[in-house]
Structure 1
Amino acid sequence: MQPDTLLPFLAEVFDQMPFNRLLGLKVTAFSADKAEVRFDFSPQLVGNPVQQILHGGVIATVLDTVGGIMAIASALRRLNSVEHEVLVAKMGKMSTIDMRSDYLRPGRGSEFIATAEVIRAGNKVCVCRMELHNELGVHIALGTGTYLVG
């Protein structure tokens, strides 16, 4: 299989992960250049009940998730072709090495959109920049993630 034909399969894998489903995460755009994850506000995601804003851990999780998806897409793009079994084995070894989250504004909104782009990709490590906005385009958080991909 060509790497680009695997992107829909990978998006489905991330959509079906139990923790992602618990948070309501949905991969809404996924290409070799950009990943996007959306989720709706829910009272279960509140970290500050007085202000009714997202928990910082939810924000960090979403940034890490969209960064991880982007890192995997970048790693696949470097391959000529991939068999399903090779993909599954490769995904099992991919992980987050380090991630930084900068909280810019309180997490208010009815829908949230997280995006990621690759800063640098190598054979073993991929570095991504992630952002979280609400439905009005308010920039809530940004992150930088380093991912093991090889």
Structure 2
Amino acid sequence: MTELSDQHQKRSDKWRDAVAQTFIHNMPFNQLLGLELVHYDAQRVEIKLPMQKKLLGNPIQSILHGGVTASILDVAGGMIVAACAIEKNVELSREELSKRLANMGTIDLRIDYLRPGFGECFYATAEVIRTGNKVAVARMELHNQDNVHIAFGTGTYLVG
């Protein structure tokens, strides 16, 4: 690795750590869900969600609430497009990159519920389908601890 690309990688890692801290530890709703970061880079994100009684949508059958499913998929999608935006704009000044990240948001979110959310633990993964200067699209999936596919989503995010 060249010295410049090594510096860019270190800077990118630092920004990604800050994004992870914000999404997982500083957003009260995400704290309420109890999200745990398993893996995070510009190619893939994986978030763990341990099942809790307060997350049930059907307490009789112990099924994860559909809104929780949508929320964790949206978080995963937002984090992956943020990581890609960092990689793409790592040469920007701190102020410019901070502003760009602060203005990111979900434009559209589509969730397809494939099966009831049975499980003790759930894993959301995301990868980018396309990223541009203004908009990025991500694909997200939710599986339980037995790798049963619960839902998938497509998110469109403002990134510029």
Q: Which amino acid in 1 is paired with 2:38? A: T
Partner in structure 1 of residue 18 of structure 2: 9
Structure 1 residues 51 and 123 mapped into 2: Cα distance closer, same or farther (>3 Å)?
same
Q: Which amino acid in 2 is paired with 1:98? A: D
How far apart are 1:66 and its partner, in Å?
0.3
2:98 to 88, 104, 125: 88
C-alpha distance in 2 between matches for 1:84 and 1:15: 22
In the superposition, the TM-score normalised over structure 2's length comes to: 0.89
C-alpha distance in 2 between matches for 1:41 and 1:88: 33
Partner in structure 1 of residue 118 of structure 2: 108
> Do 1:37 and 1:114's aligned partners in 2 also have CA atoms closer than 8 Å?
yes
How far apart are 1:99 and its partner, in Å?
0.6
Partner in structure 2 of residue 47 of structure 1: 57
Aligned pairs, how many? Answer: 150
Where do residues 1-150 of structure 1 align in structure 2 (5 Å cutoff)?
2-16=11-25, 17-150=27-160
How far apart are 1:62 and its partner, in Å?
0.5
C-alpha distance in 2 between matches for 1:4 and 1:124: 22
Measured against aligned partners, the alpha-carbon deviations of 1:6-47 in whole angstroms (never above 9, x if no partner) come to 212211111111110000012221001001111100000000
C-alpha distance in 2 between matches for 1:25 and 1:63: 11
C-alpha distance in 2 between matches for 1:23 and 1:86: 31
> Do 2:89 and 2:97's aligned partners in 1 also have CA atoms closer than 8 Å?
no
Partner in structure 1 of residue 5 of structure 2: none
Structure 1: which 5+ residue stretches go unaligned? none
C-alpha distance in 2 between matches for 1:46 and 1:76: 35
Report sequence identity in percent: 51
C-alpha distance in 2 between matches for 1:82 and 1:21: 30
How far apart are 1:82 and its partner, in Å?
4.3
Q: Which moved more, 1:37-46 or 1:80-89?
A: 80-89
Measured against aligned partners, the alpha-carbon deviations of 1:102-134 in whole angstroms (never above 9, x if no partner) come to 000111111110000000111100000000001
Once superposed, which parts of structure 1, at least 4 consecutive aligned residues long, lie more than 4 Å away?
A: none
C-alpha distance in 2 between matches for 1:131 and 1:52: 20
How large is the Cα RMSD of the aligned pairs?
1.3
